[in-house]
Amino acid sequence: MQTQTTTTAWNQIVQEGVQAYVEALTDADSQRISEEYGTHNYHPLPVNLVRADGVLVFDGEGNEYIDCIGSYSAVAHGHLSEFIVQTVKRQLEKVTLVSRAVYSSELAVFLKAICDYSGMDMACPMNTGAEAIETCLKLARKWGYTKKGVPKDQAEIIVAEGNFHGRTTTIIGFSSEPQYKELFGPYGPGFVSVPFDDVTALEAAITRNTVAIMMEPIQAEGGIIVPEPGYLARVREICTRNNVLLIWDEVQTGFCRTGKRFAWQHENAEPDLMAVGKPLGGGLFPVSAALGKRHVMEVFVPGDHGSTFGGNPLGAVIAVAALAEMEVDGLAAKSQERGQQMMDGFRALELPQVLEVRGKGLLVGLEVQNVDSKKLTQAFLDARVLTKETRNHTFRFAPPLTISEAEVDEVVARVGRAIRSVV
């Protein structure tokens, strides 16, 4: 691109606004430019979304889709919640970023609200789920050295096979998914992997240097793998008995997604540390946090950890609005009801291609067999249902928790038609 052309483009953006520049693109333009200039670390569905409202999204040609991806649980409140959008508009006229070099009233309100909501004592605000996980790992290790007495640099953290906690170099080092880690090494030591939902293997892996056990209460990215009843409580008991911290990764399962505020509450398996994110940003902004008990969180001192944007005033008020709306609108109960409706509906289809339907709340996995999953993905798209395959031929359904009874029925009907169309 020549200098004069570039200057003209920048001037056009400033004079007419970014939106005008964006809206000039066709769906095909957007896909072509993204493929040319963006790294190919994602394989998006062949649809370009330009507008959203509640559980519905629209492409540039005006086609309407029911969003059952829900930005991987992040759009729990529905797209463009009116209350959260208004909260953002008011904050944009006040202050958005001051860094952690000073205090802010917005951060103070957020810290108290998230602790009250979660039952934890203290919070360390961050931006993304992976950052929240990394924060929990640092807290657990320092707690192990300063409070448990583990020899320096010998701390071990037990994780589960099939996990997904993010994509930083530390996290992928203990992933059991080959593509997540291949050619990105060397990897850091200090992690021990055991089968998920196996208390015997878990307990056998504990040593005197074990500082924490970190798992997802339900393995979302792993294929909506729900452990057997009692497993979460047993993990809590094992941690307590062995003086080991329990870390739940609730980035995808938290904030009403499974029919409870947090998935660990299905068995009262209270953690010592918890990573949260995604829905905390109200579908508008990245907000996450590491939450925990005071005896763990207090090991951090100034200089141990930080984030320029973590806890910024804009993100803080969005998160408080998101928490308030979840509570006032009863999204946990709605998730439980609509999730059960969806699972019952999928099972009632009685299609031989459906091997299993599993999940909790509106975190639903539809595992298929004897069907070309690529063709089925396209069939879902043709039926105007957005969903993507995760591991083990499982399609994940995690729509906004605001989805109505009629909309769930429509999803079930479209899914049935899509599956039958590829037989």
Q: What is the DSSP letter of 256?
A: T
* CB hemisphere CA count around 37 (13 angstroms): 6
- For the chain, counts of helices (H) and of strands (E): 15, 15
Q: Coil, helix or strand for 193?
A: strand
Q: Which of residues 372 and 6 earns the better pLDDT score?
A: 372
Tell me the pLDDT tens digit for each residue of 225-283.
999 999 999 999 999 999 999 999 999 999 999 999 999 999 999 999 999 999 999 99
The pLDDT of residue 392: 74
Nearest-CA neighbor of 224 among 358, 316, 73, 412? 358
Q: Enumerate domains of the chain plus CATH numbers.
A: 22-80+330-421 (3.90.1150.10), 83-328 (3.40.640.10)
Q: Tokens representing 311?
A: 């806890």
The pLDDT of residue 2: 43
Q: Tokens representing 240?
A: 């307590």
User: Where are the strands (E) in 56-209, listed by range?
Assistant: 56-59, 64-67, 122-126, 156-160, 191-194
Contact, 367 vs 354, CB < 8 A? yes
Tell me the pLDDT tens digit for each residue of 89-103.
999 999 999 999 999
Q: What are phi and psi of 315, to 5 degrees?
A: -60, -35
The pLDDT of residue 5: 61
411: confidence class by pLDDT, cuts 50, 70, 90: very high
Which residues participate in catalysis according to the annotation? 164, 249, 278
The pLDDT of residue 106: 98
71: confidence class by pLDDT, cuts 50, 70, 90: very high
Mean pLDDT of 144-164: 98
Query: For the chain, what percentages of helix, strand and coil (3-state, to nearest 5) are there?
Result: 40, 15, 40
pLDDT at 147 over 80: yes
pLDDT at 322 over 50: yes
The pLDDT of residue 37: 95
Q: What's the whole-model pTM score?
A: 0.96
Mean pLDDT of 168-187: 94
Nearest-CA neighbor of 193 among 179, 166, 174? 174
Mean pLDDT of 370-398: 95
Mean pLDDT of 318-347: 98
Q: Which range has the worst mean pLDDT, 11-20, 66-75, 124-133, 142-151?
A: 11-20
pLDDT at 158 over 60: yes
Written as one string, the DSSP assignment of 337-383 is: HHHHHHHHHHHHT--TTEEEEEEETTEEEEEE-SS-HHHHHHHHHHT
**Cis ω for the linkage preceding 227 (within 30 of 0):** no
| Rounded CA separation 324/307 (Å) | 25
Question: What share of the chain has pLDDT > 90, as a percent?
Answer: 95
Q: What is the DSSP letter of 219?
A: B
Mean pLDDT of 307-321: 98
Mean pLDDT of the chain: 96
Mean pLDDT of 22-30: 94
219: confidence class by pLDDT, cuts 50, 70, 90: very high
| Rounded CA separation 150/141 (Å) | 9
Mean pLDDT of 356-361: 98
pLDDT at 3 over 80: no
Q: Tokens representing 5?
A: 């052309």
The pLDDT of residue 4: 57
Helix segments in 62-156, DSSP class H: 82-92, 105-118, 129-143
| Rounded CA separation 4/18 (Å) | 19
Q: Coil, helix or strand for 333?
A: helix
